[in-house]
């Protein structure tokens, strides 16, 4: 029973969309069923997910109709990316797909092209992807849609993101924390997210938690989260009314906030119950299909070879009566086309596809303004994060009017020593603020929440819609979003190859509070593994930087904020450490990614020492000074590696790369690397034509505890004493000193190691010799 002509058109449209969703999974011929369905019409490999598709089509059609009525900018973010067949069906029928893929014409030929190429080698994938217009989250790894949507609507006051979350996806940790993000969204200055929790009751082989909960319990749960739930079902009339109410409430909340009422508002959400596989096969082989997990993926897996399954598929597809709804030449029936808004408001073809028009170039301060003088290398008193905080403060200041920059900090901005930004902005917070709270306001531009998933998801949504930001995290706990970052790398890799996708600002991640200075928090806080995960990707747009001091940290931060279509990771400490390079030197090393430090180097070295990372660089230089003091005749060179990549540590497959490599590390001299992360990460980068026997790699070897700062180096054999020992051993191999002398020197250093460790055990601190060490001072 329909209350309006519009609702009847939506019902018919859903029949068409359901047909095209199913047909993509099954058909390679006979696309509009103009003849009887045969085995040869069925694809040889049946891939895709049917169960969630009808609900997606239902929601897409009703939102489109609402947009046509109200004319407002909107996004559709689909959490279950495995429901891609449905999303693609809608993009095809509304005409958006043809705009980006000229072969996808809205007629029989185009329908065949779309159906044949779904889940087909070198065709369309089985899940949402960057080749899909309007997509900013793939949904292959469930859980990130809600956070991404909240990030997308930041600083876009009129935008509404309708975000569909499957009840299976709703069981994930990332989604569970993302419900709270409404508490950071100021309706006065930001858009709105309307979550649509789709309860079809089942995952791959069993029921969902949310699907089995009562409406009463769901209402209590989501009211507690701060939402006003509206319950919808398969009724078109009911859904149309609910959407109109939801839209009116969103605009009312925004109007109230924009008139000066900053109280936390309960935004509406929709809880939609539909049967799994709604409108599909009811029963097959005596097993319930619709309304059961059996409809999750391909229902008739043997349709090409099994007569009963082919007949079931035939009856299913014919039930939609597609020829009443879609003409082979004219395409979709005009009555059904009428539910869609004009092109600029289409869900699949919104402004988010044109980030070039949205990206406002950041106004950046000159990083040298925040750099410190370095008259003598090694002067103590510089903190990378404190200096970067000063720089970011002015980034906020210079872009106040543009409102296109955010800082996401799950482990708190104060802890990460970036608190200078609070001189210019504050932390976003819509809940009550106490008189003794610091730096909280409804319109703050720093987002803090102890959920790496939620904040990284917000930043991804913010970036993919044209804005810029920085994500700062404790090094050990960024591993929580390691897989999430992998997904973003995959998204960006494909997006960079899609012609119509404009470049987007880079995703910039700061890793601080590193394991080398988490001796007070202990073993649980000592984990550099995220770096290795990124290096494994071997993508030229994934950059990992290890600035050795504050000046280089500033130069790298500036470079990263100017870059596009990349993922930049800056690994830098927050403690007071030596200043090594002046502004000019810092800029030069950032440009090359590697530099020989002349003040610590001899010509024609017997041994080369390379430091990668601020704390490891300090120990490397201390080792050089110690070794030269003990054996002056040893010639040593120090190389600082700031960026790990093909250019700096290439595999020598090209002669030019070999020459660059040899200019730093010589052709034959042994090289000792002191590396911030796991040695196993660096070793593959050193396999070059000459072999890797001349390379020794020190790094974090999973030894740690609550201990002293220097004892972390002792435990992981990255200390100055361990490096000096290896220098002497290599010097003996190079015939610079005798084996006997090297043995005596190493024994003396072992005594030193034991003495330093003993001092730490007895007094709880490092010796003054270690604590007060400074380059060039006895």
**Mutual angle of helices 236-258 and 5-26, in 10-degree steps:** 100
Residues of the chain with CATH 3.40.50.920: 595-771
Point out the least confidently predicted range of 242-246, 281-285, 347-351, 543-547.
347-351
- Count CB neighbours of 693 within 10 A: 7
Q: How confident is the model at residue 37 (pLDDT cuts 50, 70, 90)?
A: very high
Instruction: Write the pLDDT tens digit of every residue in 734-753.
Output: 999 999 999 999 999 999 99
Model pTM?
Answer: 0.95
Beta-carbon contacts of residue 279 (< 8 Å; ≥ 6 apart): 15, 18, 54, 290, 319, 320
Query: Which of 346, 281, 377 lies closest to 134, judged by CA?
Result: 346
Which DSSP symbol is given to 297? S
Indicate the helix (H) or strand (E) that contains 198: strand 192-199
Assign 367 to helix, strand or coil. helix
The pLDDT score that the predictor gives to residue 352 is 64
What is the residue-averaged pLDDT of the chain? 93
Q: Cβ distance 590 to 555 under 8 Å?
A: yes
Query: Which of 194, 181, 160 lies closest to 459, judged by CA?
Result: 181
pLDDT at 479 over 50: yes
User: CA-CA distance, 49 to 83, in Å (whole number)?
Assistant: 6
User: CA-CA distance, 585 to 561, in Å (whole number)?
Assistant: 20
Which DSSP symbol is given to 440? E
Indicate the helix (H) or strand (E) that contains 474: strand 468-474
Long-range contacts at 423-426 (CB < 8 A, ≥ 24 apart) = 423/393, 424/393, 424/394, 424/396, 424/397, 424/400, 425/396
Residues of the chain with CATH 3.40.50.970: 5-340, 367-579
25-54 residues labelled b (16+ CB within 10 A) or e (exposed): bbbbebbbbeeebeeebbbeebebbbbbbb
Q: Cβ distance 520 to 501 under 8 Å?
A: no
pLDDT at 691 over 60: no
User: CA-CA distance, 95 to 348, in Å (whole number)?
Assistant: 9
Cα end-to-end distance, the chain, whole Å: 91
User: CA-CA distance, 737 to 221, in Å (whole number)?
Assistant: 74
User: What are the backbone dihedrals phi and psi of residue 47, each rounded to the nearest 5 degrees, phi first?
Assistant: -130, 145
Q: Cβ distance 416 to 409 under 8 Å?
A: yes
Q: How confident is the model at residue 689 (pLDDT cuts 50, 70, 90)?
A: very low
And the tokens for 681? 């990460």
pLDDT at 303 over 50: yes
Rounded mean pLDDT of 483-505? 94
Indicate the helix (H) or strand (E) that contains 199: strand 192-199
Exposure of 492 by Cβ count < 10 A (0-12 exposed, 13-18 middle, 19+ buried)?
Answer: buried
Instruction: Write the pLDDT tens digit of every residue in 318-367.
Output: 999 999 999 999 999 999 999 999 998 999 987 666 677 788 889 999 99
User: CA-CA distance, 71 to 345, in Å (whole number)?
Assistant: 7
Q: Cβ distance 760 to 712 under 8 Å?
A: no
Query: Which of 760, 723, 720 lies closest to 519, judged by CA?
Result: 760
Percent share of the chain, pLDDT over 90: 87
Which DSSP symbol is given to 202? B
The pLDDT score that the predictor gives to residue 309 is 96
Q: How far is CA 764 from CA 516, 618, 712, 761, 774, in A?
A: 17, 22, 13, 6, 21
And the tokens for 471? 């994500």
Point out the least confidently predicted range of 45-49, 465-469, 691-695.
691-695
Q: What is the CA radius of gyration of the chain?
A: 30
User: CA-CA distance, 682 to 612, in Å (whole number)?
Assistant: 10
pLDDT at 104 over 70: yes
The pLDDT score that the predictor gives to residue 719 is 97
Beta-carbon contacts of residue 708 (< 8 Å; ≥ 6 apart): 519, 760, 764, 765, 766
pLDDT at 657 over 80: no
User: What are the backbone dihedrals phi and psi of residue 577, each rounded to the nearest 5 degrees, phi first?
Assistant: -135, 175
Percent share of the chain, pLDDT over 70: 96
Instruction: Write the pLDDT tens digit of every residue in 585-616.
Output: 999 999 999 999 999 999 999 999 999 999 99
Instruction: Write the pLDDT tens digit of every residue in 371-427.
Output: 999 989 998 888 999 999 999 999 999 999 999 999 999 978 999 999 999 999 999
pLDDT at 651 over 80: no
Which DSSP symbol is given to 457? H
Beta-carbon contacts of residue 355 (< 8 Å; ≥ 6 apart): 464, 465, 466, 501, 502, 503, 504
Q: How confident is the model at residue 692 (pLDDT cuts 50, 70, 90)?
A: low
pLDDT at 640 over 90: yes
pLDDT at 2 over 60: no
Q: Cβ distance 613 to 627 under 8 Å?
A: no
Strands 643-644 and 446-447: unpaired
CA triple 343-347-350, angle to 5 deg:
65
CATH assignment, 367-579: 3.40.50.970
Q: Domain 595-771 classified CATH 3.40.50.920?
A: yes
The most distant pair of C-alpha atoms in the chain lies apart, rounded to whole Å, by 98
* 3-state helix, strand and coil shares in percent for the chain, rounded to the nearest 5: 45, 15, 40
Query: Which of 64, 92, 21, 88 lies closest to 277, judged by CA?
Result: 21
CA triple 24-28-33, angle to 5 deg:
80
Query: Which of 114, 145, 150 lies closest to 132, judged by CA?
Result: 114
389-402 residues labelled b (16+ CB within 10 A) or e (exposed): bbbbbbbbeebeee
- Count CB neighbours of 668 within 10 A: 9
pLDDT at 502 over 80: yes
pLDDT at 683 over 90: no
The pLDDT score that the predictor gives to residue 661 is 84
Instruction: Write the pLDDT tens digit of every residue in 114-162.
Output: 999 999 999 999 999 999 999 999 988 999 999 999 999 999 999 999 9
CATH assignment, 5-340: 3.40.50.970
DSSP string, 91-147: HHHHTHHHHHSTT--SSHHHHHHHHHHBT-TTSB-SS--TTSTT-S---SSTT-HHH
Point out the least confidently predicted range of 378-382, 403-407, 685-689, 711-715.
685-689
The pLDDT score that the predictor gives to residue 648 is 60
């Amino acid at each position: 029973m329909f209350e309006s002509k519009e609702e009847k058109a939506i019902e018919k449209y859903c029949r068409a969309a359901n047909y095209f969703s199913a047909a993509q999974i099954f058909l390679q011929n006979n696309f509009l069923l103009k003849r009887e369905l045969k085995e040869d019409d069925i694809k040889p490999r049946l891939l895709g997910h049917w169960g969630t598709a009808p609900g997606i089509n239902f929601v897409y059609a009703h939102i489109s109709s609402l947009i046509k009525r109200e004319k407002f900018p909107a996004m559709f973010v689909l959490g279950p990316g495995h429901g891609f067949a449905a999303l693609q069906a809608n993009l095809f029928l509304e005409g958006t797909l043809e705009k980006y893929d000229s072969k996808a014409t809205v007629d029989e030929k185009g329908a065949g092209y779309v159906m044949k190429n779904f889940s087909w080698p070198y065709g369309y994938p089985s899940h949402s992807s960057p080749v899909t217009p309007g997509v900013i989250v793939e949904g292959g790894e469930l859980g990130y849609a809600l956070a991404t949507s909240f990030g997308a609507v930041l600083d876009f006051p009129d935008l509404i993101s309708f975000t569909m979350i499957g009840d299976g996806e709703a069981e994930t940790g990332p989604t569970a924390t993302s419900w709270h993000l409404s508490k950071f969204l100021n309706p006065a200055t930001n858009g709105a997210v309307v979550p649509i929790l789709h309860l079809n009751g089942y995952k791959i082989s069993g029921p969902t938690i949310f699907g089995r909960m009562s409406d009463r319990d769901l209402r209590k749960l989501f009211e507690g989260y701060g939402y006003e739930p509206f319950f919808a079902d398969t009724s078109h009339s009911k859904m149309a009314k609910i959407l109109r109410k939801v839209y009116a409430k969103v605009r009312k909340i925004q109007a109230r906030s924009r008139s000066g009422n900053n109280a936390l508002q309960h935004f509406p959400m929709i809880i939609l119950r539909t049967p799994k596989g709604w409108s599909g096969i009811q029963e097959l082989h005596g097993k319930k299909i619709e309304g059961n997990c059996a409809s999750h993926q391909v229902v008739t897996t043997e349709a090409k070879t099994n007569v009963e399954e082919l007949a079931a598929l035939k009856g299913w597809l014919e039930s939609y009566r597609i020829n009443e709804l879609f003409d082979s030449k004219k395409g979709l029936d005009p009555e059904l086309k009428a539910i869609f808004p004009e092109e600029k408001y289409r869900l699949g073809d919104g402004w988010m596809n044109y980030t070039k028009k949205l990206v406002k170039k950041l106004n950046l301060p000159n990083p040298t303004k925040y750099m410190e003088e370095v008259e003598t290398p090694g002067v103590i008193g510089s903190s990378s994060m404190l200096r970067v905080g000063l720089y970011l403060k002015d980034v906020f200041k210079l872009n106040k009017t543009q409102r296109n920059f955010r800082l996401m900090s799950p482990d708190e901005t104060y802890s990460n020593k970036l608190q200078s930004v609070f001189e210019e902005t504050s932390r976003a917070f819509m809940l009550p603020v106490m008189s003794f709270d610091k730096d909280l306001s409804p319109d703050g531009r720093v987002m803090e929440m102890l959920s790496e998933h939620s904040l990284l998801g917000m930043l991804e949504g913010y970036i993919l819609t044209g804005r810029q930001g920085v994500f700062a995290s404790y090094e050990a706990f960024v591993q929580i979003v390691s897989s999430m970052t992998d997904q973003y790398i995959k998204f960006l890799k494909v997006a960079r190859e899609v012609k119509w996708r404009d470049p987007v600002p880079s995703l910039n991640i700061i890793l601080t509070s590193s394991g080398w200075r988490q001796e007070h928090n202990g073993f649980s806080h000592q984990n550099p593994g995220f770096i290795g995960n990124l290096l494994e990707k071997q993508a030229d747009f994934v950059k990992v930087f290890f600035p050795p001091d504050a000046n280089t940290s500033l130069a790298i931060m500036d470079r990263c904020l100017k870059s596009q279509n990349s993922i930049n990771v800056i690994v830098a400490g927050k403690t007071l450490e030596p200043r090594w390079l002046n502004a000019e030197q810092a800029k030069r090393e950032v440009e090359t990614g590697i530099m020989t430090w002349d003040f610590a180097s001899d010509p024609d070295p017997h041994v080369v020492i390379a430091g990668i990372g601020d704390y490891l660089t300090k120990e490397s230089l201390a080792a050089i000074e110690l070794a030269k003091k003990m054996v002056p005749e040893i010639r040593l060179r120090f190389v600082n590696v700031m960026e790990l990549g093909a250019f700096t540590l290439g595999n020598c497959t090209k002669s030019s790369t070999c020459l660059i490599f040899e200019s730093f590390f010589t052709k034959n001299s042994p090289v000792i690397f002191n590396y911030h992360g796991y040695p196993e990460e660096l070793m593959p980068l050193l396999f070059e034509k000459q072999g890797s026997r001349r390379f020794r790699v020190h790094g974090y070897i999973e030894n740690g505890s609550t201990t002293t700062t220097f004892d972390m180096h002792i435990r992981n054999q990255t200390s100055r004493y361990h490096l000096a020992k290896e220098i002497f051993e290599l010097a003996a191999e190079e015939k610079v000193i005798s084996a006997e002398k090297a043995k005596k020197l190493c024994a003396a250093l072992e005594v030193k190691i034991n003495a330093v460790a003993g001092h730490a055990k007895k007094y709880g601190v490092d010796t003054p010799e270690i604590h007060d060490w400074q380059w060039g001072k006895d």
